[in-house]
Amino acid sequence: MSSAEPRFKRILLKLSGEALMGNGSYGIDPETLDRVTQEIKQARDIGTEVCVVVGAGNIFRGLKGAASGIDRATADYMGMLATVMNALALQSALERIGVHTRVQSAIPMASVSEPYIRRRAIRHLEKGRVVIFAAGTGNPFFTTDTAAALRAAEMNCNALLKGTQVDGVYNADPKKDPSAVRYETLTYMDVLRQDLKVMDASAISLSRENNIPIVVFSIHSENALVNVLQGKGTCTIVSGE
C-alpha cells in the first residue's frame, strides 16, 4: 500500500446496511464485515481520522416497515435500533484488528454505547480512535444519509465518503442499463436538479450549506477507500459550483 498523503484529514464514511450483507440477502456477512473494517484500518493508518455512520437496510428499513402497516415513526425507531446492531458489529470487528473504536448512539443505550456528545466524539477522533455514530439522528423521518451529513458537519469533516454498490454516480442504474455513464464530478445543484440518487435531498442540502464534498465510490473494490483518499480511486465527487 502506498504511503501517499491522504487528501482529506478527517472524513465521515457513510456505509449502507446492504454493504455489510455481501452476497447474502439479509444480515451481516462476516467476510464482508472483515474486509470493510480492513479498509477503515488502512485509511486510519495513512493518517486520516475516520468516523462512520452505518445504515440498517440489511436488518430493518423504516420505510419498508411503514409500508407493511407499522406506524411510520415507530418503524423509523426500529430502523435506528437496527443501526446500533450494525455499529456494534463494526466495533467488534475493528477492535479485533487493533483499531480502537467508540460507538456513540443518538438514542441513549448506556449498556452498549456512549451517548452522542459532539465534543467527546471530536476528542476520540483526535486520539486516533474510529467513532461509529449509531441510531441516525435519533429522530424519525430522517434517513441515515441525513445523519451522515449532519455528523460530518458537526465533526468538521473535510469530506463525506459514501461507500456504495457501484463506483460512483451514474445517469442510470449501471446494473440495469449497460450504457449508463458515470460522472467524474457533479455540483450539489446538479444532483438536486436531476434527482440523482446519491443521497436524499436533505443530506445534499446540508452538505452544500457546509461546503462538504461528497465522494461516492464502491466499497466492494479492494483498497477502494485508501485509493480514493490518495486520489487514485474511481469515484464521483459532488461539490460546489
How high is the pLDDT of residue 117? Answer: 98
| Whole-prediction pTM | 0.94
The model's pLDDT over 137-167, given as tens digits with 9 standing for 90+, comes to 999 999 999 999 999 999 999 999 999 888 9
* Residue 208, phi-psi category: left (phi > 0), alpha (psi -120 to 50), beta (remainder): alpha
The response to whether 140 counts as a known ligand-binding position is yes
Residues 6 or more apart whose CB falls under 8 angstroms from that of 64 comprise 75
60 is in an annotated binding site: no
- Whether residue 138 is annotated as binding a ligand: the answer is yes
pLDDT band at 3 (very low <50, low <70, confident <90, very high): low
Least confident of 48-52, 98-102, 153-157, 169-173: 169-173
Domains of the chain from N-terminus onward: 10-239 (3.40.1160.10)
Question: Is 142 marked as a binding-site residue?
Answer: yes
pLDDT value for 175: 84
Over residues 87-105, mean pLDDT:
98
